């Protein structure tokens, strides 16, 4: 540990990540609204860069002590000499903020393992779908499973009256469906909800989102990381909406189902609208099909305005994404 902390002092983590995330965030904020990046999938990858690129750049510098004595902010590189003042604050960062960073990161790891534990308890505590419920849900899922190329998840019934469905778990995914959802939603509405959750499973969004949580919490001192993570999660949901609408070809029904399931399961705590469920919210990356009123309004507007599309990336968009990535790498890797 002393050697590791010494390397952190030679390559100041806090200033590097803080300035790096700010620089990458500004680059992404300047380009993400361009028409070539109109697809949420592309925008999702763009907003992952302020989380991922500074950390990868720092890891690179951590192994290059011979090249750089003060990390990416020291004099002699692309940064002005005045950044040396920030670097001199590193002992304070190391002694005070660094332990907080380790504690936050450890808590994030705990939440990831807790997610697996909660999924395991979900399987043990709630019975599997059976009888007519199992036949109905399986008949709806089978065609979508073939389209997505995935197997049938472990289907569990939550006896609550709230209309709710969510997927969780990594190696052994679990799809939880509530009694209220089965009783009050017809087959077409149920198809919209379940297809949404299956798309999350097919895209491995749970794993991707938990990685984002780790990166966000690892740079908890950077407001740019937290804002970028919110954008990332929002665009991830919109990308799933696009895929579902492209598969079902029923945008109006999908928008109606979004609104209905939110209204059915809402609880007001005086500050925001949330959806209740059988698992602690802090251990779920996806609280539910429609969970936050602000994001929900934007998603419904996109679907109703026919903005949702399942089109693949165009060559121009791919090329521009590679260009932005190259610019980001220049900022975080060659600043020293």
Domain count of the fold of the chain: 1
Phi, then psi, of 334 in degrees rounded to 5: -115, 25
Residue 52 scores a pLDDT above 90: no
Range of the domain at 70: 2-333
- Angle of helix 40-62 relative to helix 13-31, nearest 10 degrees, comes to 160
pTM beyond cutoff 0.75: yes
The alpha helices in the chain, defined as continuous H runs, are 2-10, 13-31, 40-62, 84-88, 90-92, 98-125, 131-148, 179-184, 187-203, 205-218, 223-248, 251-265, 293-304, 315-333
Q: What is the pLDDT of residue 273?
A: 40
Residue 64 scores a pLDDT above 50: yes
167 dihedral zone (left: phi>0; alpha: psi -120 to 50; beta): beta
**In whole angstroms, what is the distance from residue 291 CA to residue 187 CA?**
21
Q: What is the pLDDT of residue 166?
A: 83
Strands 165-168 and 174-178: antiparallel
Most confident of 85-94, 115-124, 177-186: 177-186
- Angle of helix 251-265 relative to helix 293-304, nearest 10 degrees, comes to 160
- Report the pLDDT averaged over residues 35-59: 86
Q: In terms of pLDDT, which residue wins out, 23 or 288? A: 23
Q: How confident is the model at residue 136 (pLDDT cuts 50, 70, 90)?
A: very high
- Report the pLDDT averaged over residues 65-90: 48
Residue 155 scores a pLDDT above 80: yes
- Report the pLDDT averaged over residues 10-21: 73
Percent over 70 (pLDDT), the chain: 68
Q: What is the pLDDT of residue 44?
A: 92
Residue 85 scores a pLDDT above 60: no
Q: What pLDDT digit, counting tens, does each position of 319-333 carry?
A: 777 777 777 777 666
Q: Tokens 């199992």: give the residue.
A: 134
Length of the chain: 336
- Report the pLDDT averaged over residues 180-186: 92
- Report the pLDDT averaged over residues 19-32: 88
| DSSP for 47-96, written as a single string | HHHHHHHHHHHHHHHHT-TTT-SSGGGSTTSSS-GGGHHHHHTHHHIIII
Local structure of 154: helix, strand or coil: strand
Strands 174-178 and 154-158: parallel
């Amino acid at each position: 540990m002393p050697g590791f902390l010494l390397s952190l002092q030679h390559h100041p983590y806090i200033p590097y990540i803080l300035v790096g995330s700010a620089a990458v965030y500004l680059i992404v904020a300047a380009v993400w609204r361009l028409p070539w990046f109109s697809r949420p999938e592309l925008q999702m990858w763009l907003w992952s860069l302020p989380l991922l690129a500074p950390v990868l750049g720092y890891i690179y510098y951590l192994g290059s002590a011979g090249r750089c004595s003060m990390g990416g902010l020291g004099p002699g590189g692309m940064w002005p000499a005045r950044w040396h003042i920030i670097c001199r604050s590193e002992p304070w960062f190391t002694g005070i903020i660094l332990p907080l960073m380790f504690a936050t990161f450890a808590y994030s790891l705990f939440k990831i393992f807790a997610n697996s534990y909660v999924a395991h308890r979900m399987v043990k505590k709630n019975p599997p779908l059976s009888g007519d419920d199992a036949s109905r849900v399986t008949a709806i899922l089978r065609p979508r499973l073939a389209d997505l190329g995935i197997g049938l998840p472990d289907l569990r019934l939550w006896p609550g009256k709230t209309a709710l469905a969510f997927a969780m778990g990594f190696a052994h995914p679990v799809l939880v469906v509530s009694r209220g959802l089965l009783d009050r939603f017809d087959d077409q509405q149920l198809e919209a909800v379940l297809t949404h959750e299956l798309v999350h499973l097919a895209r491995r969004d749970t794993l991707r989102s938990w990685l984002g949580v780790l990166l966000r919490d690892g740079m908890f001192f950077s407001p740019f990381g937290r804002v970028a993570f919110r954008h990332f999660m929002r665009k991830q949901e919109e990308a799933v909406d696009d895929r579902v609408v492209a598969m079902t070809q029923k945008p109006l029904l999908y928008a109606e189902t979004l609104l209905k399931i939110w209204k059915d399961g809402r609880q007001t705590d005086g500050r925001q609208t949330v959806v209740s469920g059988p698992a602690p919210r802090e251990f779920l990356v996806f609280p539910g099909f429609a969970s936050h009123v602000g994001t929900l309004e934007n998603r419904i507007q996109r679907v109703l305005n026919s903005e949702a599309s399942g089109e693949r990336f165009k060559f121009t968009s791919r090329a521009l994404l590679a260009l932005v990535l190259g610019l980001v790498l220049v900022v975080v890797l060659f600043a020293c």
